[in-house]
Amino acid sequence: MTKRKFLFTSEQVSEGHPDKMCDIVSDSLLDALLEKDPKTKFACETLIKNNTIVLGGEISSTAVIDYEAVIRASLAKIGYHDENFDFSPKTCQIINFLDVQSSEIANSVHVDKSPEEIGAGDQGLMMGYATNETEELLPLTLVLSTKLILKLKELRETNASFKWLRPDCKTQVTVEYEQLEKGKIRPLRVHTVLISTQHTDEISLEELRRSLREDVIPLVIPQKFLDSETKYFLNPSNSFIVGGPKGDAGVTGRKIIADTYGGWGGHGGGAFSGKDATKVDRSGAYAARWMAKSLVANGYCERCLVQVTYGIGMAEPISLYVDSYGTVKDGFDDEHLTSLLKKNFDLRPGMIIKELNLERPIYRDTCILNHFMPKVNSTWEVPKKI
């Protein structure tokens, strides 16, 4: 029987991309509030265009912060400094439409409730995914596209030879996979690498493409995955000088696939950034990843999808689903895996918050690039012994 081969692609965006800038603003404000009041309830959407930022959402907190100072300080770390060229954190206009959280939602979800009783901040379905094809237990397509962004950021910030790089960037990696028996898959080679990076006018297109091809890609993608047929599309639109909010509007939560699994597994549709952990769009999704990663790390399957669903104000989840794609170890099936998760994980929102310590100011760092690439404070990335 001929083994089927297929192509799969994932993308990633830099922190200078306007959508990701909005995630950073929303989560920086959440961090500032949590630092003073860990019980803060917050839902903040950010819009950015040109040199203007607009905030909208709801808040319940005893904390008092300087919203403008927090926003400007957080965005200054990205690397934009001149509004005539891109965007300036020092001079941008900030319009604040944040309002008080609805008492109906507050009473339903958290008012006068113990951690065991805290209800979900909204209805929804959350998805977790893990695969053993990389040490991060994430898809190779996503890992490579994310590491390309990280390398470009590192070179821009530390290497004078790359002073022509600007903060806005997108990458995309296509991998050829082989379908093995029982739903198992194996990455064979990198089929295509696409990088579109903002730059100054100091570098020619020819030199930019040469530098990406010779000085960036080989440092990220293992040689075993590159061959003579690998395709490279490097700044395919040619000039990319005008970027960031000057080139495109940004909105919180528009990069939910790059934030999660690069298109693998599934997505419930809810964004993470700007939401405190009573919003199960965030905490439930982190728990779903924690469960999926724990199953793979403990050797119960080679890859799996986990879905958990909630109703607003309800503490107990409505349903739990596991699909191991046929890679479950001998003697087990997906029903066994579901039972294991129910025995080892308490999926009530208040208990997720407690176990994963989600009332800390950790979210600005978490939201940059992918929420599931291991980071210092990502407790959901530490597999639980099952």
Active site residues: 17, 19-20, 45, 58, 170, 240, 248-249, 254-255, 275, 279, 281
Q: For 278-315, b where at least 16 C-beta lie within 10 A, e where not — what string?
A: bbbbbbbbbbbbbbbbbbbbeebbbbbbbbbbbeebbb
Pairing of strands 41-49, 185-199: unpaired
List the structure tokens of 121: 């901040």
Burial of 236 (0-12, 13-18, 19+ CB in 10 A): exposed
What order do you get walking across the sheet with 303-310 strand by strand?
Answer: 124-131, 303-310, 319-323
List the structure tokens of 29: 């404000």
Which backbone phi and psi does 380 adopt, to 5 degrees? -70, -10
Residue positions counted in the chain:
386
List the structure tokens of 311: 């109703």
Query: Would you list the DSSP string of 224-240?
Result: GG--TT-EEEESTTS--
Say if CB 36 and CB 189 are below 8 A apart. no
Largest CA distance in the chain: 66
Pairing of strands 93-100, 52-60: parallel
